[in-house]
Amino acid sequence: MLEHRHAPLLPRHKFYSRLGLYALISLGATALSVAVGMAGYRYFEGFGLVDSFANATMILSGMGPLDPLKTTGGRIFVGFYSLYSGVFLLTTIGFFLMPIIHRLLHKFHVEGSPKAEIKPPEVKPPGQT
C-alpha cells in the first residue's frame, strides 16, 4: 500500500522501484489482455497469430479492428472485448499513474501542512479553576 499522509515522502530510489512495480503489473495485465484477444480472434475468426495480434492490439488501444469479421461468434466476441478494452485502457493508465499522482499530492500535503504538534489537554488539580 502507499504511505500514510503523515509519513515522510519516500526516497527517490524507493519511489522509482514502486513505479517500476506498477509498470510491470500494468504491462503484465496488458499482455494477458492481448493474449485473450488473440485467442478469441483465433478461435472465432480463424485468424493467424500475426493477424490476431494486430486486431487484438488495435481493439485494446481503442483504434478498432483491422480485418472484417465473418462469423456471428466473432462479432459477439469483439463486441465484448471492445467493451472490456475501453474500461481496461483507462483503468491501466490510472493504475500506472497512481504512484506519480500520490507522490505529488503527498508532497503538497507535507510541504503545505504546519508542523504543529498535538498537545494533550491540560489537567488541573481539583480545587483550581
Q: What pLDDT is recorded for position 64? A: 85
Distance CA 76, CA 60 (A): 16
In a domain, 36, yes or no: yes
- Tens digit of pLDDT for each residue in 105-122? 887 765 555 554 556 667
In a domain, 32, yes or no: yes
Q: Which of 51, 58, 52 is nearest to 35 (CA)?
A: 52
SS3 for 69? Answer: coil
- What mean pLDDT do residues 16-42 have? 95
The CB density around residue 33, as the number of other CB atoms within 10 Å, is 20
Residue 37's CATH number? 1.10.287
Q: What pLDDT is recorded for position 120? A: 65
pLDDT over 90 at 123, yes or no: no
Domain count, the chain: 1
Q: Which domain holds residue 78?
A: 12-103
pLDDT category at 102 given cuts 50, 70, 90 is: confident
Indicate the residue type of 69.
Answer: L
Distance CA 5, CA 102 (A): 10
Place of cell 483491422: 66
- Tens digit of pLDDT for each residue in 39-95? 999 999 999 999 999 999 999 998 988 899 999 999 999 999 999 999 999 999 999
